[in-house]
Amino acid sequence: MGEAKVGEEFITHEFDEAIAVQQSIVEAETTLSTKHPLSSAKTALKASLADDEVFLKQLRTLGKEHDATGKVEDVAGGLKKLMEETLDTATTEGEDSDFYEAHAVLLNLKRKQMDSAGGMLAIARETKDAKLRTAATEFQKAQKASSESLADELAAYAVQIATAAA
């Protein structure tokens, strides 16, 4: 585990983590938007990817003001590794259950970003940073909306897999 971070060091850490997780999301969506077996999921992933690329750029810009570069630390590293492993298995093995797992891990990363956005929004309000407040609000809303869409697609995929004729 890393050492305790406070003040500006904590803000830098939060931006590093958000950037690293967002990069993992963009990479996963890039792959799943073309390889996912469910066509409606591909459509949802492509829509999410377009927004997430913009948010990644925005996080990098805002993070730069706090010396954040996307340094991968404990939490982001664990999530990144899990995303890469499940995505690799899905694209290598090609089984529905493997794609389902990769889709589920991606959804968890998106939900992690919702939490990060909430923290950034609270920090922005406390520090009276209007630019960060606006960006964090937009980021949080978009992550919530795309998470709901991807969760609906995951549920539909679960039904498809569960009811497939053996």
155 has a pLDDT exceeding 60: yes
Average pLDDT of the chain is 92
Tell me the whole-structure pTM to 2 decimals. 0.93
Residue with the two structure tokens 């570069």: 69
- 1-49 pLDDT, tens digit per residue, is 556 677 889 999 999 999 999 999 999 999 999 999 999 999 999 999 9
- Residue 114 or 165, more confident: 114
- Nearest CA to 120 among 78, 71, 76, 58? 58
Tokens at 15, concatenated: 């931006």
pLDDT at residue 122 greater than cutoff 70 = yes
For residues 100-108, average pLDDT? 97
Residue 138 pLDDT level (bands cut at 50, 70, 90)? very high
Write down the domain spans for the chain. Answer: 8-162
Is 118 within 8 Å of 126 (Cβ atoms)?
Answer: no
In CATH terms, the fold of domain 8-162 is Ferritin (1.20.1260)
Token pair recorded at residue 150:
């991807």
Q: For 54-92, how does the pLDDT look when each residue is reduced to its tens digit (9 = 90+)? A: 999 999 999 999 999 999 988 889 999 999 999 999 999
Nearest to 18 by CA among 72, 66, 54: 72
